[in-house]
């Protein structure tokens, strides 16, 4: 029941009460003179009997004279107050501290009757009739969760309210131990909210202030409002008092799988649908609702706008009769002396209508015991049920599979992690809301964002772009790349650069080969080219080699080096200084040999002068090589025709001959 002041409550009971109304329509306020009539319909049941877990829409039908245009989906809030202009001191039966009334009279505090949104409209002259529904209408959209499952019902409830921008009050109490093991795929947000409420022995509705509320049901619930015989016009009992002692929860509607708790016949059984129910939830529902009862009635009453759907209230009814008409035994006759009996029931459906005055109709429906025990189906109903059981329905999920006229076959995981859509035009496989595999039959194009793996995959056609990462590549017996990045090929042609640390075996043909080391083998013997100091080299072993390089000692230039164990010699070009010979020891001559040893230099400026020291050739104190050899007993001759340089011993024996090219 919506809270109201004592003044408002007291005035509602008066026979001469006078209502004033207004309505907020979009950004405009319409007063009583503009409002022709309105009707507010609230309900907690969708069928003909008591239910839990519902999330029914409230409906407003209002007729008014417009001052301007009303936009689509405009928000309309009707208000109601009581006029206190005729109040006298003698009528003031409420405490002084609660008498918040203006001296000149006027309306009481304004009571909202709900927050509604325009769905349809009709016009007659300047009078418009709007049909509106409360904010739960926005919850009739598919629930797509971004939560990680399993998760709590509270987290799911908060996510839905957050997506819709709804707020809720303290009546929404959800068992913190209740969880959803997987995302509720294929259900609307309103359905999921109803299932969560059902698990907690409640139903959902939008209050008069637009805030979501739980109506929690309990066998121990006490009336929140008491009606006397003066507060209603008529009341009709439509069925005997209904009491529940057994609960059956269906968690699989296709295979009709259920949990049960309690005992009782069909008339005392409450049926509930909760797709994610457990036996523990069913036991908790039975513990809360065991013994819950209400009287099925149909009542026309004076308007009490503070009452909400789901409110438990009591009402008085005169059931007295004369002594002569009493047929029951004395011990079974419980009629009070004044004939007034108090009954308790619940508002399952109510309609409040305003047209100058306010009236209200209350219904608490139920099926009869005979209807519960023996449901009789007509031939048409029976045939429809048979078709319903065997037919595949559009937009209805079957274990995650849905048939749709617009999408074809849709297969979706319960938590929304993945979704597959199949039809004649498109195949689309989504993961986390993004397309991972998509085939467009019209464009004949396949797109894949994942990793392609296959033990024995065969491909034809052309593969362009992209990268191959991991695994092995094998093309016939002539080409392969293993996990370590080693490539084998019979042959190859490259138009660009080849960058590698090691190239082994085979032949390389091309215009340019660039690398830090090019060699015939990693073992000895081998020949090598390098960008380091030993640019061209031939190796018989690690200690026996010949090297050519483009710079050398003592001056920049080029040299040819010979290495044999610990012995080495070199020939270098020192620029303008001439040709240098270096050796490990001194310069000696043996028979047909010239042996260079040590670092006594032999250099040639021209063959007319051969100097014996690495010094400036212009020094006059130095003797020529020929003079030095003559002093030592050797004779050096040069034939300019044959260009032969010959060396003879003291006895005239030819020791060495060198041909000097031009």
Q: Is residue 617 part of a domain?
A: yes
Residue 637: which of 629, 652, 647 has the closest Cα? 647
Beta strands 246-252; 269-273: pairing state? parallel
SS (H, E, C) 445-498: EEEECCCCCCCCCCCCCCCCCCCCCCCCEEECCCEEECCCCCEEECCCCCCCCC
Tokens representing residue 407 in the block:
């999408």
* Whether 247 contacts 289, CB under 8 Å: yes
What's the pLDDT score for residue 411? 83
Please tell me the least confidently modeled range out of 13-17, 76-80, 169-173, 506-510: 506-510
Give the CA dihedral 251, 253, 257, 262, nearest 10 degrees.
60
Lowest mean pLDDT, pick from 93-102, 190-199, 471-480? 93-102
What are 37's two structure tokens?
A: 């009539």
Residue 442 has pLDDT above 50, yes or no: yes
Question: Which of 141, 116, 111, 113 is CA-nearest to residue 131?
Answer: 116
Contact status, residue 56 vs residue 45, Cβ threshold 8 Å: yes
- How many independent structural domains does the chain possess? 3
Asked whether residue 587 is domain-assigned, the answer is yes
State the DSSP H helix or E strand holding residue 590, giving kind and residue range, or none if neither.
strand 588-590
pLDDT exceeds 60 at position 594: no
What are 359-412's pLDDT values in tens digits? 999 999 888 765 554 455 555 655 555 555 555 555 555 556 777 666 778 887
Who wins on pLDDT, 193 or 588?
Answer: 193
> DSSP per residue over 404-436, as a string?
ETTTEEEEE-TTSSEEEEE-SSEEEEEETTEEE
Q: Is residue 90 very low, low, confident or very high in pLDDT (cuts 50, 70, 90)?
A: low
- pLDDT of residue 554 exceeding 60, the answer is no
pTM of the model: 0.58
Looking at 137, 162, 190, the residue that finishes a domain is 137
Q: Decide if 595 is inside a domain.
A: yes
Contact indicator for 425, 442 with CB cutoff of 8 Å:
yes
Tell me, what's the pLDDT at 195? 96
The tens digit of pLDDT for each residue in 35-82 reads: 999 999 999 987 788 999 999 999 999 999 886 778 888 899 999 988
Residue 433 lies in a domain: yes
> Of 448, 483, 503, at which residue does a domain stop?
448
Asked if residue 10 and residue 131 are part of one domain, the reply reads yes
Confidence (pLDDT) at 511: 65
Residue ranges making up the domain that contains 70: 6-137
pLDDT of residue 256: 83
Q: Given this model, what pLDDT does residue 379 score?
A: 59
Q: Is residue 49 part of a domain?
A: yes
Structure-model confidence comparison of residues 491 and 222, the more confident one: 222
Strand, coil or helix: 549: strand
**Over residues 467-488, mean pLDDT:** 74
Across the chain, mean pLDDT equals: 79
Helix (H, G, I), strand (E, B) or coil at 586: coil
Of residues 635 and 360, the one with the higher pLDDT is 360
In-domain check, residue 615: yes
Do the domain assignments include residue 373?
no
Show which of 448, 470, 493 is a domain's final residue.
448
**How deeply is 139 buried, as exposed, middle or buried, from its count of CB atoms within 10 A (0-12, 13-18, 19+)?**
buried
Q: Confirm whether 653 is domain-assigned.
A: yes
């Amino acid at each position: 029941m919506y809270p109201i002041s004592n003044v408002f409550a007291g005035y509602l009971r008066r026979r001469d009460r006078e209502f004033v109304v207004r309505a907020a329509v979009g950004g405009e306020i319409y007063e009583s003179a503009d409002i022709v009539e309105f009707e507010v319909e609230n309900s907690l049941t969708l069928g003909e009997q008591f239910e839990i877990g519902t999330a029914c829409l409230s409906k407003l039908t209002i007729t008014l004279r417009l001052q301007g245009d009303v936009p689509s989906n405009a928000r309309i809030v009707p208000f109601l107050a009581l006029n206190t202009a005729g109040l006298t001191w003698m009528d003031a039966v409420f405490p002084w501290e609660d008498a918040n009334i203006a001296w000149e009279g006027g309306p009481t505090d304004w009571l909202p009757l709900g927050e509604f949104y325009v769905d349809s409209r009709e016009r007659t002259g300047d009078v418009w009739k709007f049909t509106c529904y409360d904010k739960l209408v926005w919850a009739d959209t598919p629930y797509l969760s971004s939560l990680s499952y399993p998760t709590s019902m509270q987290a799911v409830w908060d996510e839905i309210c957050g997506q819709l921008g709804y707020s809720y009050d303290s009546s929404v109490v959800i068992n913190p131990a209740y969880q959803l093991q997987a995302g509720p795929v294929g259900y609307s947000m309103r359905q999921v909210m109803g299932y969560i409420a059902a698990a907690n022995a409640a139903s959902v509705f939008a209050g008069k202030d637009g805030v979501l509320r739980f109506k929690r049901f309990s066998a121990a619930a006490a009336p929140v409002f008491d009606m006397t015989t003066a507060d209603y016009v008529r009341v009709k009992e439509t069925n005997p008092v209904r009491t529940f002692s057994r609960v059956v929860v269906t968690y699989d509607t296709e295979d009709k799988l259920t949990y049960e708790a309690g005992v009782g016949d069909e008339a005392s059984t409450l049926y509930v649908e909760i797709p994610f129910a457990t036996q523990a939830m069913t036991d908790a529902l039975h513990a809360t609702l065991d013994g819950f009862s209400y009287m099925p009635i149909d009542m026309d009453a004076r308007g009490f706008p503070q009452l909400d759907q789901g409110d438990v209230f009591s009402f008085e009814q005169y059931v007295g009769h004369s002594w002569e008409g009493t047929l029951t035994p004395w011990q079974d006759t419980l009629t009070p002396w004044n004939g007034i009996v108090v009954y308790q029931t619940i508002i399952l459906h109510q309609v409040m209508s305003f047209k100058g005055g306010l009236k209200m109709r209350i219904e608490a429906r139920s099926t009869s015991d005979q209807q519960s025990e023996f449901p009789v189906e007509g031939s048409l109903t029976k045939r429809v049920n048979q078709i319903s059981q065997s037919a595949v329905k559009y937009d209805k999920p079957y274990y995650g599979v849905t048939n749709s006229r617009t999408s074809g076959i849709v297969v979706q995981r319960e938590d929304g992690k993945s979704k597959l859509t199949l039809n004649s035009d498109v195949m689309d496989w989504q993961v986390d809301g993004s397309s991972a595999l998509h085939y467009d039959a019209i464009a004949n194009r396949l797109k894949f964002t994942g990793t392609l793996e296959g033990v024995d995959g065969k491909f034809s056609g052309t593969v362009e772009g992209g990268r191959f990462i991991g695994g092995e590549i094998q093309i016939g017996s002539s080409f392969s790349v293993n996990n370590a990045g080693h490539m084998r090929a019979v042959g190859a042609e490259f138009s660009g650069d080849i960058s590698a640390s090691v190239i082994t075996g085979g032949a390389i043909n091309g215009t340019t080969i660039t690398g830090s080391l090019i060699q015939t083998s990693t073992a000895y013997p081998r020949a090598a080219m390098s960008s380091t100091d030993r640019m061209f080299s031939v190796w018989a072993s690690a200690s026996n080699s010949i090297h050519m390089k483009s710079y050398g000692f003592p001056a920049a230039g080029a040299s040819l080096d010979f290495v044999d164990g610990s012995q080495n010699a070199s020939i270098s070009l020192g620029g303008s200084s001439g040709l240098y010979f270096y050796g490990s020891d001194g310069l000696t001559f043996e028979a047909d040999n010239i042996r260079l040893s040590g670092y006594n230099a032999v250099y040639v400026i021209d063959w007319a002068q051969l100097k014996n020291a690495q010094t400036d050739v212009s020094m006059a104190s130095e003797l020529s090589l020929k003079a030095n050899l003559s002093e030592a007993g050797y004779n050096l001759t040069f034939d300019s025709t044959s260009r032969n340089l010959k060396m003879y011993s003291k006895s005239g024996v030819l020791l060495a001959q060198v041909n000097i090219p031009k």
